[in-house]
Structures are given as structure tokens and as C-alpha cells.
Amino acid sequence: MDSFTLYAALYLVGFAALHSLLASLPVKKMARRHFGSRVDPWYPVFFSASAAITILPLAGLLVRNPGAVIYVLPSPWIWLFFSLQLLIGLASLRAFLDAPHRFLIRAQLARPKGPQAFALGIKGIYCWIRDPFLLSGFLLLWLTPFMTENMLPVYLLATVYLFLGSMHWESRLAHQFGEEYAAYKKEVPRMIPGRRWRGCRGSGGSGLK
């Protein structure tokens, strides 16, 4: 393992630790205790912004020290892959809009069937796939139309982190939605879209119980 790979691995471990800490329920409880209910719509923004900012140094290192080129796709494939990445980014936004209640602190802290609990309310892209963010993360990484020696270990480590993060997120959803999510999990695949779930809702289903 060369020094860059070691530094990248250590940085990603630190990034994952910070990201997981901010996603943890104790930190969210503390935020809600200090800022009240007004923190609900802003915490996802803060969480996403902190992730984007803290990943920038690693991106900067890759730009300054990419390593030897492994491959570069020729035109028009390079533009096709960039276009697919853009579409996948838009699909990720759609996935958020299809289930915004999953990201509210008060919903995450609520007990299943409690007075603050939200209904699972499966609709949109979640009718076919449990974790569209895992799939979009994989595709955004591996549809990059070029690869270098230093990018490859970073992408491999990021892939592992995405999968572990998905497992953690799903354990939280199981706690948040209880038996309803367990039934959904049995029928709908995590990452590869499958048959439309029979319990899928139309345009509603995301309100409070």
C-alpha cells in the first residue's frame, strides 16, 4: 500500500466516523433539545453540506495527485457517462422528494406507532427499490468515464462505505417503522430495482399517523 492509498483510507475512515456521528440519534436528540422543532427541516441541509465540505480535501488531493491513468473513455462515450451521472443525480433528488419524512429528526426519534410516528408511505422510486441512494452512489462512482491509480482505491473504499452506510440506515428504518418496514423489506430488493411493491401508495402516504 503506497502512502496516498494509506492517507486516503485514513481520511475516509475519519469522514465515515464524522458522517456516522452526525447521523446518530444521540446527536440528533441533542440538536432537537437545543434548537427545538425548528431544527427538523435544517438538519438534513446541515448534514449534506458538512458531508460535501469534508469530502473536498480528498477530492483536492485526487486532483493534485491523480496517479497514472488506467483508462479514459473515448468520445462520445465520455459524454454519455457524464450525462448518465447527471440523470442519476436528479434521480437522487427525486428519491429524497419521494420520502422526505424519513429524514425528519422528530420522525426518526419517534417510536413505531407512537404519536409522533410517520406512516411508511411507500411511493415513487421506493416502490421498486429500498435504497435508491445506494444504487445512485455506486453508479455515480463507477460511471466516471476515466480512472487513475489513485482514484481506484478511493472508489473501492467509498463503495464499501456506501454499502455499510446503507445497512446502518436500513437498521434505523426498521426501528422507525417497525413491522411495516419488515414486510416491505421482504418483498423489495435493497439496490437492484425489482417488481413493484403491492403496498405502494399513489401520491400520498407521507403524513403523520
- Indicate the pTM of the whole model: 0.81
The confidence score (pLDDT) of residue 159 equals 93
Report how far apart the first and last C-alpha atoms of the chain are (Å, whole number): 53
Inform me whether the pLDDT recorded for 139 exceeds 90: yes
Is pLDDT at 204 greater than 60 in this prediction?
Answer: no
> Distance between CA atoms of 209 and 117, rounded to whole angstroms?
6
pLDDT for res 202: 60
**Contact (Cβ atoms closer than 8 angstroms) between residue 89 and residue 140:** yes
Query: Among 43-57, 58-72, 130-144, 167-181, which is the least confidently predicted range?
Result: 167-181
- Mean pLDDT, all residues of the chain: 86
